[in-house]
Amino acid sequence: MTNRRQFISKLTAPFLAMPVLSELAFPSCANPYEGPVLKVALMGLGGYASRVADAMQACKKARITGLISGTPEKLTSWQQKYNVSAKNCYNYENFDAIKNNPEIDAVYILTPNALHHPQALRVAAVGKHVICEKPMALNARQGKEMVDACKKAGKQLLVGYRMHFEANTVDIIQKRINGNFGKILFFQGLSGFRIGNPSQWRLNKELAGGGAMMDIGIYSVNGARYMVGEDPVWVTAQETKTNSTLFKEGVDETIQFQLGFPGGAVASCLSTYNMNNLDRFFLNGEKGFTELYPASGYGPIKGRTHQGELNHPHVAHQTTQMDEMAAILLENKKPLVPVDGIEGWKDLVIIDAIYKAAATGKKEPIMY
């Protein structure tokens, strides 16, 4: 994990200056957007950050105006690729200087899980909005501290729940709200894949905070909540580990968990790093059913109900997410499903309870 130690170490290498462009390039459109634009700094320039950055090129309400990384070479190449001014680029030692930079409204934290909490506290302290990738933190205690810090600073904390804005998912949620499925009885969530590179940070307990549950199982945790429309009140869980070399102590391979909801619905879910062909949500009610398969991948998402197929066109999830988050931060828009810090904290409360239930073998209450 030498590269990750370097990733979080204090780096002060100078950056190569790039010409400052008067404006960023946007895709042409018949009706150019003329409203407020959210100016975003991306923190942590890894693989997922690249996906976010590419998708943001199609955004109308959000654009990349800053970069934060521990790797000077990445800052240089990303400046060129995304037309970011060198004066808006920082490392992990000096990024507190964004406090005095009016060209940055919010910081999107895309670093390994263990870094979300301390970095979010620093961003809030210098008066910028925080957008944080999921899981928001390593546990509910850290999540609550992040919520409190942003509240104290008078800034918003949003979590990268891209599925809350995906068209097929939103359609199903609206149908459930409208009563199309009747009283909700059962949810099934299957989230997992066979993980590759054994040296990646996702298999490091110190950086990831766990294993599959923190990375992919959280989709079924969060999905159970927005599909059923309630927060669960109890959980039972069982952990299976077939490869203790790859999945070391504290890094879960496979966890099956069951949730109970106040309205009487139950959920049966699977989180794993050792099976492919999953990524499926199923919701059953007294009047009908719905299914998403794939349910949370990068797309296209496919959905159907007892009334037929859903055929919403695919748009890069991160494009929609960032435009919608810009509307939340700049226009006080209220999303159908929240993406705020409390939403992220609730998932962490549930995950804490899942780990506890897997360890004790008992039915554990979920206390928010």
Six-digit token pair at 367?
């206390």
Q: Active-site residue among 82, 108, 161, 219?
A: 219
Q: Is 219 a known active-site residue?
A: yes
**Packed helices 167-177 and 218-228: angle between N→C axes, nearest 10 degrees:** 40
**Can you spell out the DSSP letters for 260-283?**
E-TTS-EEEEEEESS--S--EEEE
Phi, psi of 293 (to 5 degrees): -155, 105
- The alpha helices in the chain, defined as continuous H runs, are 2-8, 47-56, 72-82, 113-125, 140-153, 167-177, 205-208, 212, 218-228, 317-331, 341-360
d(CA 241, CA 222): 23
d(CA 56, CA 320): 9
Long-range pairs for 80-84: beta carbons < 8 A, 24 or more residues apart? 80/18, 81/53, 82/24, 82/53, 82/57, 83/21, 83/24, 83/25, 84/18
Q: Is 90 a known active-site residue?
A: no
Beta-bridge partner residues of 269: 189, 257
Six-digit token pair at 281?
């949500």
Q: Active-site residue among 134, 155, 175, 346?
A: 134
d(CA 55, CA 61): 12
* Active-site residue set: 134, 219
